């Protein structure tokens, strides 16, 4: 899997949540919260920077001792495990997905800039990250 990757299972991004719940820069997050994992990640499909679609099937949690200290930034690494599907998306399909999601976010200059960047992007990575 080539990162970054975008969640294509969730089609209605919540404007009150961090977009990093929907876009992964790598296979690691720093939050072991099970509710967050169940809601945003488990069994969701992600398109990678090659247009290949992967299903998030599991996670590798750190030890229980480290999880106790998850309040310390960047200590509690949770590694996602993906399974490649036989599905692919074109660059235009990914672009349209990202544009549709970002359109739902609150209006501000960042949103306008982000939309314009995605419209002009030439690679999956640029479309997914918006830069």
Domain residues of the chain, as ranges?
Answer: 5-129
* pLDDT at residue number 51: 97
Global pTM value:
0.87
Please report, in tens digits, the pLDDT of each residue of the chain (131 residues total): 999 999 999 888 877 777 777 899 999 998 888 999 999 999 999 999 999 999 999 999 988 888 887 777 788 899 999 999 999 999 999 999 999 988 887 777 788 888 999 999 999 999 999 87
* pLDDT at residue number 91: 97
* pLDDT at residue number 12: 82
* pLDDT at residue number 118: 95
* pLDDT at residue number 108: 78
Cα–Cα distance, 120 to 126 (Å, whole number): 9
């Amino acid at each position: 899997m080539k990162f970054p990757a975008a969640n294509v299972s969730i089609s209605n991004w919540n404007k009150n949540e961090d977009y990093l719940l929907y876009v992964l820069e790598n296979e690691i997050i720093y939050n072991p919260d099970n509710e967050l994992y169940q809601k945003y990640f488990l069994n969701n499909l992600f398109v990678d920077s090659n247009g290949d679609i992967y299903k998030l099937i599991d996670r590798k949690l750190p030890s229980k001792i480290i999880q106790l200290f998850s309040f310390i930034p960047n200590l509690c690494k949770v590694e996602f495990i993906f399974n490649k599907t036989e599905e692919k998306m074109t660059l235009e399909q990914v672009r349209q997905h990202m544009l549709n999601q970002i359109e739902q976010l609150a209006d501000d200059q960042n949103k306008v800039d982000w939309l314009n960047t995605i419209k002009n992007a030439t690679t999956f990575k640029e479309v997914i990250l918006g830069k």
